[in-house]
Amino acid sequence: MPIVNQENLDRSIKANQDPYGKAVIDIAIKVMQYLDEDPTPLHRGYNPDIHTPHGLICKADEELNLGISGFQAGCVKSVIGFSHSRGKEFADNY
């Protein structure tokens, strides 16, 4: 993964070991993998469009079968925003 801020990502992982927080981290890591695999630019929109942050979060949530809340999805956006090389693009289109 093109992580640009490993220290912040590691801090988030360490701080979120409970099931609620860990779901955020697991979804964020899966979405970052998707971003690495598909360089298609993101745009605003909703699931099932996987070229939107919402679509990617929903795809990861479905794949991992976690059932995250809207608040958790916002936390996923934050983790990706400060950790991944495409974080600004992801956050700007959220």
Could you tell me how many helices (H) and strands (E) the chain has, helices first?
5, 0
Domain that holds residue 21: 6-92
Give the pLDDT confidence score for residue 26 in this predicted structure: 98
Single-letter residue type at 49: D
Question: Tokens 């679509």 appear where?
Answer: 55
Q: How far is Cα 55 from Cα 33, in angstroms, rounded to an integer?
A: 14
Total domain count, the chain: 1
H helix runs in 2-94, sequence order: 6-15, 19-37, 53-64, 70-83, 87-92
Is position 33 within any domain? yes
Within a domain: residue 57? Answer: yes
Q: For residue range 23-57, what is the model confidence (pLDDT) as tens digits?
A: 999 999 999 999 999 999 999 999 999 999 999 99
Is residue 38 classed as helix, strand or coil in its secondary structure? Answer: coil
Residue 1 lies in a domain: no
* Predicted TM-score (pTM) of this structure: 0.95
